[in-house]
Structure 1
Amino acid sequence: MAARIQVSPALFSCTSILPSISRHVRRRNRSIHRLFSNESPPCGSASSSFFVQAQRGFSFQEENFASSADLCVDAPLKIIKYPDPRLRAKNKRVNSFDDNLKKVVDEMFDVITDGIGLSAPQVGMNIQLMVFNPAGERGEGEEVVLVNPVVHKSSKKSLLYNEGCLSFPGIYADVVRPASVKIDARDVSGARFRLNLSGLPARVFQHEFDHLKGILFFDRMGEDVLYGIMSELKVLEKKYEDLTGQPSPENIDNHTQRQQFAGLART
């Protein structure tokens, strides 16, 4: 948001009278142990590739979780702009709380120079991660990291606020949102916690939480407000086409409001 101001080891223990098979089993068990720990191989390593392939071999819904490749970051990160399709893509849950994740978080805070909040999809990483600092300055205020956030409760009272977004440079408009929210999340180390947010922190959280659900701030605007920024959105669509040589994945003229209420996406 822009500023304007456990699996049992017994399941995998097996023996064989053939030494070659036994060695294979031991190697496989070491790889599986790493799958269910917080360890991940370094980005771009050969073991990283095997790690991802091993994950895909299991029957649980691993496609809903970020792989080690999803958490690899090429610094410096860059803000992607509307209508980049990654802003609408599904964002995977994080279950590896390792040095790769910490590096992503650190890089995200470095990117926030003109804002107070940022979601991972805004830097092209489709994972459920957001960071924000209401102070708007690195090293000042409280830097908040939310991994896999879930809305526990939101207030019935709503407030109007003039919002901006780093993925929509220079565009500001009024958005109505709940005045306060209660959320559950994990921190960068994987510890679970609950927060009660109100005022500006609640506003920032809701803006970034929408990003994790593929919802953009103009989806929340009334028709009159949206009409006031349509020309600016069309400029961004044209810039995307000129930059990529591809037709814009979105056309604001054909926009259908995604949410007919000032609530939160809970799915």
Structure 2
Amino acid sequence: MFDVMYKTDGIGLSAPQVGINLRLMVFNPVGERGEGEEIVLVNPRVSKYSKKLTLFNEGCLSFPGINADVKRPESVKIDAYDVNGKRFSVNLSDLPARIFQHEFDHLQGILFFERMNEEVLDSIRGQLQALETKYEGMTGLPSPENIGNHRRRKVAVGFGKL
């Protein structure tokens, strides 16, 4: 998964994004192999999150070239397992917390644009629809993600109102 993440210039990746049906994510806030810390989380769970929310311009490897502002808790405390099955807890803040929350949402079936306010979502709606059209043209199949079928998430598992 790190190989895919680095090849696509990402800083985080969840298993469902690459067709693996596991509650697993990897990330490296630096986004460069050999630099920063490579983090692997298996079956992560949010145990606490800050009430202070911050706005950040996010992108997603599942929606290349689309970036927009998403408001999320500034910090989170998580419980997870490492690749050897050892349970641990960690506090994350700033960019690592942001990456974790984005990837955790993927594990919950939530996409980053579902966390955007309507004004922000409207600003990228055309780009999302263009990606859907491109996918359908390349595959002959309907897009698995349809912006018309999604609504903004006010509350998600493990987090408060966003």
Q: TM-score, normalised by structure 1?
A: 0.57
Matched positions, count: 157
For the 8 Å contact 2:53–2:74, the answer to whether it is kept is: yes
Distance of 1:210 and 1:254 partners within structure 2:
17
The structure with the larger Rg is: 1
Distance of 2:17 and 2:145 partners within structure 1:
16
1:266 to 154, 158, 162: 158
Could you tell me which runs of 5 or more consecutive residues in structure 1 were left unpaired when the two chains were aligned: 1-107
RMSD: 1.4
Shift of 1:265: 2.2
The CA deviation string for residues 190-245 of structure 1, in whole angstroms up to 9 with x for no partner, is 00000000010000000000000010000000000000001110111112211221
Distance of 2:149 and 2:103 partners within structure 1:
24
Distance of 1:199 and 1:117 partners within structure 2:
14
Shift of 1:147: 0.1
Aligned to 1:111: 4
After TM superposition, list the pairs within 5 Å mapping 1:152-231 onto structure 2. 152-231=47-126
Distance of 1:133 and 1:249 partners within structure 2:
28
Shift of 1:140: 1.1
Aligned to 1:242: 137
The CA deviation string for residues 74-119 of structure 1, in whole angstroms up to 9 with x for no partner, is xxxxxxxxxxxxxxxxxxxxxxxxxxxxxxxxxx111122111110
1:201 aligned counterpart, secondary structure: helix
Corresponding letter in the other structure for 1:150? R
Shift of 1:254: 4.1
Distance of 1:177 and 1:227 partners within structure 2:
19
Corresponding letter in the other structure for 1:110? D
Distance of 2:15 and 2:146 partners within structure 1:
24
2:64 aligned counterpart, secondary structure: strand
The CA deviation string for residues 41-84 of structure 1, in whole angstroms up to 9 with x for no partner, is xxxxxxxxxxxxxxxxxxxxxxxxxxxxxxxxxxxxxxxxxxxx
2:142 aligned counterpart, secondary structure: coil
Corresponding letter in the other structure for 2:151? T
Distance of 1:204 and 1:187 partners within structure 2:
17
Corresponding letter in the other structure for 1:260? K
Q: TM-score, normalised by structure 2?
A: 0.92
2:113 aligned counterpart, secondary structure: helix
For the 8 Å contact 2:47–2:158, the answer to whether it is kept is: no
2:65 aligned counterpart, secondary structure: strand
Corresponding letter in the other structure for 2:34? G
Q: Percent identity?
A: 69
